[in-house]
């Protein structure tokens, strides 16, 4: 028993040292007073941590989330729990359900009426769950990609008029397992033990390709965009995992995953770091430029995804601009 306890203590010590070694230092704060940001999924997890840091930098922050009580509480917490840190009363909640294209349109309309400026759009919200939305698409694919695609298009003119501005799309390294076919885009996946996970991976590949094609279409403007992998983060993303899997999965999450504040660092890096404009459309992880897996660099697939996404959300050709030369 004594040796077992000693071994467990040594393993815990090694784990603690490794975790401290990989913990990212927060980037220097960039003054953001006078700038407005939207953070989707801002009521908890990485979104709330991102919103808090943007507020600390002085930005006016809109928390866009589905659950009104949680969203209002998160905004109130940022405004009041530590005023000595933020000193920023300009944090508010607006309701947005990405699983409803009707809600996305209503949010965009309300935001454009109420807010004269938009400088940062952080497309952070995400789910990993089965099911079908009211619009007939798979839940993960609509929340993670199609809802954000429509939201970005509806707000794009405001971002252009307020440039320099940025769009940050929270993707995932899970994009490496994505298999997108534009002709079946958004259809509920066929039943199977891994169908929900495959749908999630497909949506994350769509995130990477969305950033790439958006940058291509915005070349020559003052709007830049970035796809980010936040790391493996202990959030509520996998709360819908099967019950049988949770006893195996949760201890690993607790031991090895980042916390939300750590997971927010790459989003914050791409939202605020000077000099990233030349990397528009690229993929970042651990606050560094990285190459996505080959499907995430497929410009033909990115263009086909864009055109299919326009059609599915009801934008058509009028919703986007002609595509210039692909990224190098």
Active site residues: 200
- Token digits for 279? 């990397």
Beta-sheet strand order (sheet of 91-95): 91-95, 60-65, 36-40, 120-123, 165-170, 223-229, 283-285, 288-290
Burial readout 74-98 (b: 16 or more C-beta within 10 A, e: otherwise):
bbeebbeeeeeebebeebbbbbbbb
């Amino acid at each position: 028993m004594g040796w077992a306890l000693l071994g467990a203590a040594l393993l815990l010590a090694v784990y603690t040292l490794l975790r401290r070694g990989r913990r990212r230092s927060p980037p220097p704060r960039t003054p953001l007073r006078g700038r407005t940001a939207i953070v989707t999924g801002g009521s908890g997890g990485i979104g709330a941590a991102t919103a808090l840091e943007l507020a600390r930098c002085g930005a006016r922050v809109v928390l866009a989330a589905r659950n009104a009580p949680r969203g209002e509480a998160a905004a109130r917490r940022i405004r009041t729990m530590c005023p000595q840190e933020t000193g920023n009363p300009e944090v508010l909640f607006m309701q947005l359900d990405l699983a409803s294209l009707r809600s996305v349109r209503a949010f965009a309309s309300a935001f454009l009426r109420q807010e004269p400026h938009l400088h940062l759009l952080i497309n952070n919200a995400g789910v990993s769950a089965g099911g079908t939305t009211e619009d007939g698409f798979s839940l993960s694919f609509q929340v993670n990609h199609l809802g954000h695609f429509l939201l970005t298009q509806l707000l794009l003119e405001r971002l252009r008029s307020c440039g320099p501005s940025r769009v940050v799309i929270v993707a995932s390294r899970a994009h490496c397992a994505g298999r997108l076919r534009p002709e079946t885009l958004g259809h509920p996946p066929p039943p199977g033990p891994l169908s929900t996970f495959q749908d999630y991976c497909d949506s994350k590949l769509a995130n990477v390709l969305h950033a790439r094609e958006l940058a291509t279409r915005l070349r020559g403007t003052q709007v830049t965009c970035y796809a980010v992998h936040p790391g493996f983060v202990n959030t509520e993303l996998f709360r819908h995992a099967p019950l049988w899997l949770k006893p195996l999965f949760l201890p690993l999450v607790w031991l090895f995953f980042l916390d939300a504040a750590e997971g927010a660092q790459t989003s914050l890096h791409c939202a605020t770091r000077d000099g990233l404009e030349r990397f528009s459309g690229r993929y970042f992880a651990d606050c560094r430029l990285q190459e996505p897996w080959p499907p995430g660099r497929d410009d033909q697939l990115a263009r086909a995804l864009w055109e299919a996404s326009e059609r599915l959300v009801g934008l058509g050709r009028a919703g986007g601009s002609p595509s210039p030369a692909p990224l190098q």
